[in-house]
Amino acid sequence: MRHYVGGGFDASGVPFPLVDPVTGRTVGEVPAASRELVDRAVGAAREALRGPWAGWSPAERSRALHRIADGIEGRFEEFVAAECADTGKPRALASTVDIPRAVANFRAYADLLAGRGERSWHTETPDGRGALNYTVRKPLGVVAVVSPWNLPLLLLTWKVAPALAMGNTVVAKPSELTPSTACLLAEVIAGAELPAGVFQLVHGHGADAAGQWLTEHPGVDAVAFTGESRTGSAIMRAAADRLAPVSFELGGKNAGLVFADADLERAVEGTLRSAFTHSGQVCLCTERVYVERPVFEEFAGALAAGAKDLAGYGPMISAAHRDKVLGHLARAAADGEVLAGGGVPSFGDARDGGFWVEPTVLAGLPEDHPAVREEIFGPVVHLAPFDTEEEALALANAGPYGLAATVWTGDLSRAHRVAPALDVGIAWVNTWNLRDLRTPFGGVKASGIGREGGDHSLDFFSEPMNVCVKL
């Protein structure tokens, strides 16, 4: 585990443990960046802006992104192994989602950049000769990218790729819990023929450590962050002092709506995916499902049976996170009904030392209960009935978050009526997590600021400038 600063690798800093969430065992050490190293990283990124990188054309940057994608593909199995080791997620998930999507992120933005154009206008003038107005886009400058532990490489590259595409330099800080694939990415970028200082990597914790020092740094021109809403608020306060733009993808307490006319088998299967993928440790996961009353009992029974039969799920990321999830479950069991799960599985092997929680289905809790209102970010879903479409929308839209939602219905008119009425950034109808990288992604309310994906990311990571030429 090394930092990558100024085109070179650096292992300096007080080490902290890297823990395997599957077994709870310490498997390595990670160097924590000092404030001086963060300063050096930002300085190297600032210097690179004035160096050869400033002269690279969009076509050259596009080719560089493809070289990075090639490098990840060339070391695919290493990336998969590192992602599984850090997160505990099943190989089937990392090898079909996380690593392929990281490759796709670089290729998608390389292709968008290569085909991107800007608008121009011919403007009338009193003398009849006119003027030409056209737009050019400039990089924001030094961008701090702070990425989370649940989808470490996917969400890191989701920001790094468009930032580099638009000519910025990047200082990245991955989660202290999942640094391995970021280290491999730095090695790939080091071999991709980018100028020194264009990409930096520093390791460490958040508060009073590398994360805070980086996001508060006066030499950082913009911050892109995915993580908890409270952390986003702290970063926003720090960025406000220098009026730095921010892009935030934050928490969610996502709702699912199941109408009586839905294909219940598909709705159950889809909800099992949306609630329990990566053991619920995905910002898009469904944590509360509202089911039309005539089919509530049937749906609840089928979902609970499916949760009990789930195999191949992974652990919570840490002991602290496991304890947080179990705390919610203890309160929920006292106040409501546990239809499936609710405890810690027993394996009879080394996994018993890890951070596991059973896939859990809850019911019978009031809407103001912490398990219904607060983001748990674990393998937990709560079910409740509704009677009317209006009631379903009111329940789904309640609360401080607004990231994503699912709607299960066989009525096409209802689908087009309900989905746009949800207070979220993305709504899926009769599916979940079906993504097109060109579409806007992000949340409303406490779930984020701004949109990522396609041109939305390229626009954020650049500053539009108008040039007016009198003819």
Spatial CA neighbour of 177 closest among 281, 86, 90: 86
From 249, 287, 358, 375, the catalytic residue: 249
d(CA 345, CA 197): 47
Spatial CA neighbour of 231 closest among 448, 388, 51, 427: 448
283 in active site: yes
Q: CA torsion angle for 296, 298, 301, 306 (degrees, to 10)?
A: -110
SS (H, E, C) 214-240: HHCCCCCCEEEEECCHHHHHHHHHHHH
Q: Which whole-number Å values give the CA distances from 173 to 127, 321, 325, 443, in the listed order?
A: 55, 20, 26, 22
d(CA 279, CA 220): 35
What sections of 262-411 are H helices per DSSP?
264-276, 296-309, 319-335, 370-373, 389-397
For residue 307, the one-letter residue type is A
Burial class (CB in 10 A: 0-12, 13-18, 19+), 348: exposed
From 84, 176, 216, 283, the catalytic residue: 283
Q: Which two tokens stand for residue 303?
A: 């979902």
Residue 304 backbone phi and psi in degrees, to 5: -60, -40
Q: What residues have CB less than 8 Å from 357, skipping those under 6 apart?
A: 279, 315, 316, 322, 325, 326, 329, 341, 343, 344, 345, 378, 379, 380
Query: Which of the residues are catalytic?
Result: 249, 283
